[in-house]
Amino acid sequence: MDEVRVYMKFLKNGGWHCQFFEQDLKTPLRRRLNFASDGKIKTMQERFGANRLLEDKAAFEHALERGSGGIWLILTRDQYQALN
């Protein structure tokens, strides 16, 4: 199974706005997602998050509290195609 690393940037501004980038961190993918709460972002981190160390999880939680941050995701080719 081919896997693709994608960076997800999230920002709280009247809801949670997520933008996705290629590994170069410059090239945005076409699809953006918006969520009413941070629950979906937490689910994405749990299911697809590339960094699983305790420090990474603490940094992720801190970013949610701040209202902005980003994480690396590991997606299948099909999931990647759905974003692009």
Residues 71-84 pLDDT 10s: 999 999 999 999 98
Q: Average pLDDT of 14-35?
A: 96
Report the alpha-carbon distance of residue 47 to residue 2 in Å, rounded.
16
DSSP conformation class of 49: B
Model's pTM, two decimal places?
A: 0.90
- Continuous segment of H or E residues that includes residue 20: strand 16-21
Q: Which residue has the tokens 């692009």?
A: 84
